[in-house]
Structure 1
Amino acid sequence: MAVLVEAPTDALATHVARLAPPDHTVIRPPEAGLLMVQGRIGGDGRAFNVGEVAVTRAAVRLASGETGFACVLGRDAEKARLVALCDALVQTATHGGAVERDVVAPLRAAQEAAQRLAEARTAATRVDFFTLVRGED
């Protein structure tokens, strides 16, 4: 699920379309709302409210009965519906492996490549500091 919610909507839609997903019913249309985010501070880890973030949730049911749920950051209704559809499909015997192979694996590979590129760019700007020590005298 983490790979799916981190993926761009257009890439997710492209990979899901290749699966030719079966008929499904939207049982909870995508709806946007706010969610309170908590953080921790201080030596004792006391919780405090950082602020609110926008989230979109959705739920779908396949004709065979499997139900999928999704909650994604932001106000992207189509992404929430697609992630919920993938959640339902992965529960089926016929589509479970295909979702992992044709949707999750390529998206994971693209995310890992982007992460490696960001790490390489960061490493290129690394500066090593050192201290010269004078002899004891």
Structure 2
Amino acid sequence: MQASSSEVTPERRSWLAQLARAPRPLLASALDAVCEGAPLPAFDWLRAPETGLAMVRGRVGGTGDPFNVGEATVTRAVLRLKSGDDPGAVGVAYQLGRDKRRAELAALADAMLQSARWHDVLRARLLDPLVRTLDDARRERASDTASTRVDFYTMVRGES
């Protein structure tokens, strides 16, 4: 799998969304496992991790007119791999919060996923477990929420 930095395929869009939700320990351990004790690939910063604010927008009922909900703290990072099978691959990351190391690891994972050398093993060791973890958490939240659900109904009197 190779995609240019300007090309955002549906597969890349999916893994970028997953990387944005990945916890830092999972990112770090997966990247260490993929490199098998060797140092992580060398890279140059195009935009070092920096923290700022982003406006969060919502829609009434999910379909109504958009409105500003508030601001969220976001950390972003952009890097370019120096060497390897795909030198010049550009990795990007946007993470909620202020964890600059997490943004760096996510950007590095994005760049490595664009390389044929690392793509399959990173998918198996990072993305697949991450998807399972996120799905399990979503199901648990849905189950907890469902247990408190109240169904209201109205009884209609018979007319005589």
Q: Normalising TM by the smaller chain, what interval? A: 0.7 to 0.9
Letter in 1 for 2:136: A
Question: Which residue of structure 2 aligns with residue 103 of structure 1?
Answer: 126
2-structure distance, mates of 1:44, 1:89: 39
The counterpart of 2:91, out of the listed 52, 60, 68, is 68
The counterpart of 1:113, out of the listed 123, 130, 136, is 136
**TM-score of the superposition, structure 1-length normalised?**
0.85
Mark the runs of 5 or more structure 2 residues left unpaired by the alignment. 1-15
Q: Deviations over 1:63-104 (max 9, x none)?
A: 122121112121110110011001101111111112211101
Contact 1:39 1:49 in 2 (8 A): yes
The counterpart of 2:29, out of the listed 10, 14, 17, is 14
Q: How far did 1:110 drift?
A: 0.3
Q: How far did 1:25 drift?
A: 1.8
Work out which of the two has the higher radius of gyration on C-alpha atoms and give 1 or 2.
1
User: Which moves more between the two structures, 1-10 or 59-68?
Assistant: 59-68
RMSD of Structure 2 on Structure 1 (CA): 2.2
Classify 1:50/1:132 alpha carbon distance in 2 versus 1 (closer, same or farther; 3 Å): closer
Classify 1:124/1:136 alpha carbon distance in 2 versus 1 (closer, same or farther; 3 Å): same
User: Which moves more between the two structures, 117-126 or 78-87?
Assistant: 117-126
Q: How far did 1:4 drift?
A: 1.2
The counterpart of 1:35, out of the listed 29, 33, 54, is 54
Mark the runs of 5 or more structure 1 residues left unpaired by the alignment. none
Q: How far did 1:61 drift?
A: 2.0
The counterpart of 1:3, out of the listed 18, 36, 41, is 18
Residues paired across the two proteins, number: 135
Letter in 1 for 2:139: R
Question: Aligned pair 1:23/2:23, yes or no?
Answer: no
**TM-score of the superposition, structure 2-length normalised?**
0.74
User: Which moves more between the two structures, 81-90 or 26-35?
Assistant: 26-35
